[in-house]
Amino acid sequence: MKVILLQDVKNFGKAGEIKEVRSGYGFNFLLPKGLAEFATPVAIKQAEKSVARHHEEIGVMTDSFKKRAEELSGKKVTIKTKAEKGKLFGSVGREEIVSALQEAGITIETEFIGIEKPFKEVGTFPVEADFGHGVKSSFEVIIKAE
């Protein structure tokens, strides 16, 4: 039986793909959960249009991310916070980095900032922003004591 996946199915396929499945898997799992529909000629045409539209949207998003990555690349952002003997009172995390970037005129969401854990000392730290779809950018965060 042929089905069109309506959503991504882990370890099986992505939304919009046409798959040949055993009837038991289709009738007992994919169709009742709304993960797939029968692959009729009309549904196949609609799926192809939907996939083409999705790829176009991803292309537009990727172009936007590339522009933002170029804007961010090589920037140095300074954050001043309270510290004593090189140790911060508190920490500097994604939210503080995003706020400092916004003050510098760069808009970015917190989920794109790639730091493992918040910074807890004064210094200069390299940070990578990963926008997805292979678009990455590096910049520096300089943390100074007030």
Tens of pLDDT, residue by residue over 69-82, are 999 999 999 999 99
Q: Which residues of the chain are modeled with pLDDT < 50?
A: none
pTM: 0.67
Residue with tokens 């007992």: 28
The predicted structure's pLDDT at residue 15: 87
Fold of 69-145: Ribosomal Protein L9; domain 2 (3.10.430)
The predicted structure's pLDDT at residue 3: 95
Cα–Cα distance measured from residue 68 to residue 75, given in angstroms and rounded to the nearest whole number: 12
The predicted structure's pLDDT at residue 16: 87
Decide yes or no: CATH 3.30.470.30 for domain 2-68: no
The predicted structure's pLDDT at residue 47: 86
Q: How many CB atoms lie within 10 A of CB 71?
A: 16
The predicted structure's pLDDT at residue 78: 94
Contacts 24+ apart (CB under 8 A), 61-70: 61/133, 62/133, 62/135, 65/131, 65/132, 65/133, 65/135, 66/135, 68/106, 68/107, 68/108, 68/131, 68/137, 69/129, 69/131, 69/135, 69/136, 69/137, 70/137
The predicted structure's pLDDT at residue 51: 84
Cα–Cα distance measured from residue 80 to residue 78, given in angstroms and rounded to the nearest whole number: 7
Q: Where in the chain is the domain with CATH 3.40.5.10?
A: 2-68
| Residues 44-57: tens digit of each pLDDT | 998 888 888 888 88
